[in-house]
Amino acid sequence: MIDIKFLRENPDAVRENIKKKFQDSKLPLVDEVIALDEELRASKKRADDLRANRNKVSKSIGALMGQKKFAEAEEAKKLVSMQAAELAELEAKETELNEKVQKIMMTIPNIIDPTVPIGKDDSENVEVERYGEPVVPEFEIPYHTEIMERFAGIDLDSARRVAGNGFYYLMGDIARLHSAVISYARDFMIDRGFTYCIPPYMIRAGVVTGVMSFAEMDAMMYKIEGEDLYLIGTSEHSMIGKFIDQIIPEAALPHTLTSYSPCFRKEKGAHGIEERGVYRIHQFEKQEMIVVCKPEESPAWFDKLWQNTVDLFRTLDIPVRTLECCSGDLADLKVKSIDVEAWSPRQKKYFEVGSCSNLGDAQARRLKIRVKGADGKIYLAHTLNNTVVAPPRMLIAFLENNLNDDGSVNIPKALRAYMGGVEKIVPKA
């Protein structure tokens, strides 16, 4: 959410930003919110004038009574009563106008970074760099669920009977591999100076609307019936929410946290054949990283965050690339975003395994996450987030890139301590 003062002073810049994001239907919102804001400020000024006058008149009533000017005192009382009624109307109007302004401001997209490439959707995202040599082996690589089934490592049929489509049972070596990757990612981030955290898996509506747009909320979040609670779609939501309504001493920044959680997503819409199995599901586990920092430090932290994910995947012998998200692919709160994609030898292409985002002060403004500088001035923090690793999708890349022609799967050196020291796992059948 951008600053209303910025919009008031730079409406053309806001309109241009909306056009860059190919959301022209939102252009009328700029004039609408400017008009509402003017009305709101006029209403507030009138209310302030009435309060000041009421206080002045109220003080005079006692003096008039002391001077036995009872008629004048009664007239003053009537004036105070009339102004109180008008003030009550103005306060109700302020509440209504303020809600309208806030709703529109939460719909207008954040100002994107000047370096963001302009494009309509993810098909126009721009490759930045590749890490590791993408290899296609001479033998055929099966679909990921077939690989898992060879290890008796997945049961989708039972999951469908128990919970429906989009769920799974992981078993045996595959389940152990899943947990090993999460544990390794946790320690990897701790070694890089991040504080480990296990957050709440449910959050209130006020936090949800603070960390994401209405469109994302509708497409992703599961609501707990009868409660002001939502299941988290990623631990970033509750991790950023941890700082809601706080004023953080500048000396305490940056806050660098890495968190484990299960994640729950609706995953609305139709998906392609390669997104079956455990690629796009309603429940999964993830290791996340978030940073709360000073505004001038957020660009440097952005580069550190996505590099962490690249480095982790390379220690697991998985080739990856970074992809700069274009303007039309950025969620409304994001200033800049880079996706990390892993190589799929089966598909002979890369697919997304993580996303790194700088949200500027958008989340901080919504959640009132403020910083108190050494000079005593209060300003908004910047927030960033990035996926460390999100199995089971990450397992697809892991299994394909470490698969041998005899069906066994190599365990990279970095992961062996978490897999009981084994160098490879062997199919059951």
Buried/exposed code over 274-296 (b: 16+ C-beta within 10 A; e: otherwise): beebbbbbbebbbbbbbbbbbee
pLDDT reported for residue 55: 67
Residue 39: half-sphere exposure toward Cβ, Cα within 13 Å: 17
What's phi and psi for 228, nearest 5 deg? Answer: -85, 60
Q: Given pLDDT bands bounded at 50, 70 and 90, which one contains residue 267?
A: confident
Q: Which residues contact 369 (CB under 8 A, 6 or more apart)?
A: 240, 243, 244, 245, 246, 248, 292, 363, 380, 381, 383
Whether residue 271 is predicted with pLDDT greater than 50 in this model: the reply is no
Whether residue 341 is predicted with pLDDT greater than 90 in this model: the reply is yes
What average pLDDT does the segment 321-348 reach? 96
Q: How far is CA 97 from the centre of its chain?
A: 28
User: CA–CA distance from 350 to each of 200, 322, 337 (Å)?
Assistant: 33, 10, 17
Please state, in angstroms and rounded to a whole number, the distance separating the CA atoms of residues 73 and 65. Answer: 6
What's phi and psi for 136, nearest 5 deg? Answer: -115, 110
Give the pair of three-digit tokens for residue 189.
Answer: 């981030």
Whether residue 270 is predicted with pLDDT greater than 50 in this model: the reply is no
pLDDT reported for residue 294: 98
111 within 8 A of 18, measured Cβ to Cβ: no
Q: What is the pTM of this model?
A: 0.89
Whether residue 274 is predicted with pLDDT greater than 60 in this model: the reply is no
pLDDT reported for residue 81: 73
Q: Which helix (H) or strand (E) holds 343?
A: strand 336-344
* pLDDT, tens digit (0-9, with 9 covering 90-100), for 367-386: 999 999 999 999 999 999 99
What average pLDDT does the segment 68-97 reach? 78
294 compared with 83, residue with greater pLDDT = 294
* pLDDT, tens digit (0-9, with 9 covering 90-100), for 15-67: 999 999 999 999 999 999 999 999 999 999 988 888 777 767 666 766 666 66
Q: Given pLDDT bands bounded at 50, 70 and 90, which one contains residue 352?
A: very high
Please name each of the domains of the chain with its CATH number: 4-105 (1.10.287.40), 122-425 (3.30.930.10)
Please state, in angstroms and rounded to a whole number, the distance separating the CA atoms of residues 64 and 237. Answer: 59
pLDDT reported for residue 215: 76
Mean pLDDT of the chain: 92
